[in-house]
Every structure is written in structure tokens, then in C-alpha cells.
Amino acid sequence: MGQNSAHLRQWTAASIASMSLLMTGMFLGWPSPTISKLHAGKTPLALTGTEVSWMVSLLYVGSVISPLPGGVLMDRWGRHASLRACSILALASWLLLAFRTDVISLYISRILGGMWGGISYCITPVYLCEIAEPRIRGALNTVFTLMVYLGIMFEYCIGPFIPYTLLSLLSACVPLLYFLLMFTIPESPYFFVMKDKTREAREALLWLRCTEEVEEELEAISKAVASDMKNKGRVQDLVRTPAARRALFMTEVAAFLQRMSGSSVMMAYISSSVPQNGALSGDQCAVVLCCLWLVFGVWSTFLVDRLGRRPLLGFSCIGCTLATGGLTVWFLLTSDPSLDLNSYKIVPLVCFALYALFFPFGLACIPSILQGELFPTNLKGLASGITAIVVAALSFISNKLYQPLSETWGTYTNYLYFTVCSAYGIYFALGTLLETRNKTLQEIQQEL
């Protein structure tokens, strides 16, 4: 069996493992069609504006709770086993939505979904980096992002056209399928080496590489893990050495830029943000936006290991700065009732489309790639947990404050902040970020 077969197996394993993010994307996309149904009185419960805000934001409260326990589990149970076992959280969330119709159950459901999201965001990037060959590692990690888009698209495309309860039941089928498919792919060879299970690590590599010649790679993994595991990973180790501090800084800034460029807000509120009686309805705009995310996300898989992390992130930030800057001007102008902008309703649609074009190339995928690449083995679980918490906390803040800021100061204030953050991302990408393209994990540690 040749190199193509090995790559196919690695893509298969990455796709199945990344279904964890498909489920997370479904939780992210669910509010958009649901809010439209709430406004139309087509749900079994009625919510106030404040309750809608909590419904959207509590997902991220759950995502703050779970990453650190997830980081511990991935080092004790394994990356693979932890993802499989914790998928019960996603299943429980959808079943609560399907069979309970009170606000408290809705809140609990969203928290459970967020807990699953925090765990999947913590563990999956590490698994993907540890099973991949250096030449396709970046591309494999973009599957992580594509699955988020597919999950969002599922809710955007199906949600507006089927009843509230049926949508929850259909969504509940995905965790069951994921649980079964995970039995068909191997655990990370790095985890097996951590646990002194050399035979199992060799078997995992044999499956992933489709060749009997894995001893050299196994020896390199063993040496790297032995060096990394001399010291048990502790919080202070993340700031003890210049290399660890640099890795932590780059990863957390990239995560900050991803969320504070406006991505999580657009996912949740796009249906209610576009002008009424425009070229597209809110639900149609949401579907188009997600389709663009998906198409250009696929394109990014072919570029991330060819062009590198730095140029793609810089390109992405430039485009998102222009898009959110345009939206800032639009919402500022619409706050003046004396202006007639009916002839320009296409402008925000174009800006949302530009954001959907540029975001997938760097801001969407580079943070998760860095999360799996920059840290030594003994710190990956802890660092991934902290990064997932940062992402969740930032998403909670931006989503929870979106409506209060819009009502108090105007919607444009949200997009002004997104513009400033994206503009800083240009400087960060081109002036600070370490290029990791085509480097082994061991070479990255040496360069840090």
C-alpha cells in the first residue's frame, strides 16, 4: 500500500474524529432558525429578548466548564476514548430540547451542548496533529473547521422548514452515528507512547501509514514524548520558559482574533441582522453565508500547507477588517432615521458575503492548527483546555453583549470592535506568528 492509501486513511480518521465539531457546529447554528421561529410563534415556548440572549450565550458557559476536565481526560483515557465517551453530552442536549418545553430545560440543554463543544475543541485538534504526517497536517486540521460549517449549514438549511421538535430529534441522530464510527479509527500513537504501550502505538502507526516501515517514526515519537514527559505539565509550566510563553501567547491571541472578529455573533444573529424586505430573507442569507464559509473553507485545505499559516491569517484578517468596517458604516447610517437607505439594502449582504469569503482562509482554521502544533506533549492537554476556555469565554462575552450594546449604543458598536480586532490581526499574523508549515512537531519545539 502506498502514500496515497496512507493519506486516505489519515483523511478518513480526521474526518470521523472531526465529526465532534460537526455536532458543535449544529449547536452553534441552531439558534438562528430557532429565533426566527420564536418571533413567528412556531415553538412550544415563548421567550423574552433577555431569555433569547441567555439561550444563545449559555452554550459558551458550558464551553467554559468542560475544557480543563477534557484536557485531563485526554491524558488519562486517551484522545479517542474521551471523545467517544463524552459524546453522551451532545445526545442528552438534543433529547432535552426534543422532549422538554420549559425554559430551564432549554438552558440546561444549551449548557450540555456547550460542554460537549468545549471538550471537542480541546481534544480534537490534538488528535488530528498527532495522527498526521507533517506534509498534510495543516490540511487535516482544516477538516476541523469544515465540520463546524457543515453542522451550522445543517441547522440553517433544515431548521426553517421542519418543526422545532423534529429538528432536535434529527440532530440527536448525529451523536449516535459519531459514537459508532469512532470505533473504526485508532487512538493517537502519541498517547500510546505516553502510556508505555509501544505495541499499540506501532499498530496505530501501521494503520495510519499503510506501511511496515514505522520504526523510525515510532522511535522519534518515543524520544519526543520521553523528553516532554520528564516534567508533568502544570499551569506554571506554560509561562516558565520563553518557548512555552511564546506558544501560549500566539495560540491565545489567534483564538482571541477568531472570536472577536465577529464570527460567533454572525453565526447566532445573522437571520435577524439583515434588512427586512431585502434581496434575501434572514434565513436565506444565513444559508448563503454558511455555503460560502464551506466552499472557501474547502479551498483553504489546499492552501494551508502550500502557502503557510502567516500569509493566510494575514489575508484573512485584511478581508474581515474590510467586511466588518463596511458593516460598521452601514449600521451607523441605519441608526439615523432621517436617511433613506432602501436602495442600498444589498450593501450589508455584500459585506456579510465578504466576511464569509475571507474568514475561512485563516481566522477559522489557523487557531486550531496552532493549538495542536505549538505545545509539547506534556502541556497539550492543559494548553488545549485553556485555549478552549478562552474561546468559550470570548464567545459568551460577544454574544451576551451583542443585544444590550445594540439597544444602548447601536449595532454599529459591535462591528466597530470587530473591525479593530481584525485590524490588529494583520499586524499579529505578519509580524509575530511563527510559521510552522511542513515542520515536524519536534522541529517546531526546537524553533520555539
Task: Specify the pTM.
Answer: 0.77
Residue 113 lies in a domain: yes
Classify residue 207: in a domain, yes or no: no
pLDDT of residue 279: 66
Query: Of 69-73, 382-386, 422-426, which has the strongest mean pLDDT?
Result: 422-426
3-state secondary structure (DSSP) of residue 310: helix
* Residue with cell string 441522530: 173
CATH number at residue 431: 1.20.1250.20
Q: What confidence tens digit (pLDDT) does each residue in 205-221 have?
A: 889 888 878 888 888 88
Residue 338: domain span: 3-185+231-447
Render the burial of 164-201: b for 16+ CB within 10 Å, e for the rest: beebbebbbebbeebbeebeebbbbbbbbbbeebeebb
Residue 212, in any domain of the structure? no
Residue tagged 415563548 (cell numbers): 46
**Binning pLDDT at 50, 70 and 90, where does residue 315 land?**
very high
- The answer on pLDDT for 184 being more than 90 is yes
Output the average pLDDT for the chain.
Answer: 85
pLDDT digits (tens, 9 = 90+) for 333-365: 888 878 877 778 888 888 988 998 899 888 988
Q: Is residue 46 part of a domain?
A: yes
Number of domains the chain contains: 1
Distance CA 247, CA 242 (A): 9
CA distance 117 to 111: 10
Q: What does 130-176 look like in DSSP terms, one character per residue?
A: HHS-HHHHHHHHHHHHHHHHHHHHHHHHHGGGS-HHHHHHHHHHHHH
Query: Average pLDDT, stretch 370-394?
Result: 80
Q: How confident is the model over 221-258, as pLDDT tens digits?
A: 888 788 766 666 677 777 778 888 898 899 999 999 99
Kindly indicate the confidence band of residue 275, based on its pLDDT and cuts at 50, 70 and 90: low
**Residue 441 is assigned to a structural domain of this protein:** yes
